[in-house]
Amino acid sequence: MNALVFIAPFAAIFVSTASVVAMAHALLSRFVHSRRVSPSTSVHALAVFAPWLVAAIAALALASPDPFAACHCTQHGLHHPHLCLSHPLFASPLVEPSLVLLGVWLLVVSPRVIRLVREVITSTLWTRTIRSLPSQQQDGVSFRLHDCGKPSAFTVGVASPMIVFDKNLWSRLTIEERRAVLHHEQAHVERRDGLTLLVLRLCVALLPIPFSARLLDAWKRAAEKACDRHAAAKVGDTATVAAALVSVENSLGSSANPLRVTPALGIISGAELEDRVVALLSASSKDLETSQLGNDVLANFLVALGVAALTLVWPGDTLHHAAETLLGLIIH
């Protein structure tokens, strides 16, 4: 019971803070979107992570208002609930409203989370089948050929990503186009975009704000462009990579068969073809040399870790007591 009394209020605060931040971010992003900026993939990922990161850091600040001092509850009386690690029962007035809020939130997000879990299970089983195929190598990149049912090339797997190339598409491309596609997918492997995509999709599923899906799509587009630039740097020619993108698009247009499983990421997004080709052909040599290959989840985690450490010394009691007083006013 003590665990429920303590966990339920903080879980409710976590979800509420994430929802409020997400709605505020949706409004602010209209202004940012109107500006002519090209943020990195880490910034796009941070846009999706932001509500949960802010909520986690806020919860940490509330859980430890002054970790280097003694308990403060008795000094401030019991005229409002206390979110205190030493006295979890002091938060008992918050349990019922917290459980109601969490119950509503679970009802809203459960269908999307269940759908995501099913897709992950299906993809995992299919990936095991692909992993049993013999691995081949060209231009220093390992890959597997498979009859995917649709001309495509993509990267699957989270813990150990691998490149899958459709046999039909492989036979249609020139040697240079194959190199371009392989290095594009190798960039996804080195960036561990499968892990980032899974985490981002989970964030979107857990936050019922329609705008979050648009942020996820923006990250996908940015990731594809980053991998295009990496491929161009490897083959030494942006035109070759652009030609490979067009060839893949033409192959997709001639196939009516659906892809058997939703891949992690790959050269299959025909809708943004023109934008990707224009961005690729207009990229400078410096853009190609500085193509980002770091993992976006790790980059944002390190930033969040630093901010979280800061909350242990600031803002301290002020935020904590303000939040307790506000909760007291709400439930009384």
| Tens-digit pLDDT profile for residues 262-307 | 555 554 545 578 888 888 888 887 777 776 788 999 989 988 888 8
pLDDT for residue 34: 44
pLDDT for residue 214: 84
pLDDT in tens, 60-91: 777 766 655 666 666 666 666 767 666 667 77
Query: Does pLDDT of 106 surpass 90?
Result: yes
How far apart, in Å, are the Cα atoms of 147 and each of 117, 152, 212, 322? 25, 10, 34, 60
* Alpha carbon of residue 77 to chain centroid: 42
pLDDT for residue 188: 92
Structural contact between residues 322 and 62, judged by C-beta atoms closer than 8 angstroms: no
For residue 115, the one-letter residue type is R
Query: Does pLDDT of 36 surpass 70?
Result: no
C-alpha span between 138 and 161 (Å, rounded): 17
If you average pLDDT over every residue of the chain, what do you get? 80
Structural contact between residues 208 and 169, judged by C-beta atoms closer than 8 angstroms: no
Rg (CA), the chain: 24
Query: Does pLDDT of 99 surpass 80?
Result: yes
The contacts found for 267-271 with CB under 8 angstroms, 24 or more apart, are: 267/152, 267/153, 267/154, 267/181, 267/184, 267/185, 267/224, 268/150, 268/152, 268/153, 268/154, 269/220, 269/221, 269/224
For residue 149, the one-letter residue type is G
How far apart, in Å, are the Cα atoms of 321 and each of 11, 82, 185? 18, 9, 50
pTM given for the model: 0.83
Cross-strand partners of 328? none
pLDDT for residue 157: 85
- Classify residue 316 as left (phi > 0), alpha (psi -120 to 50) or beta: left
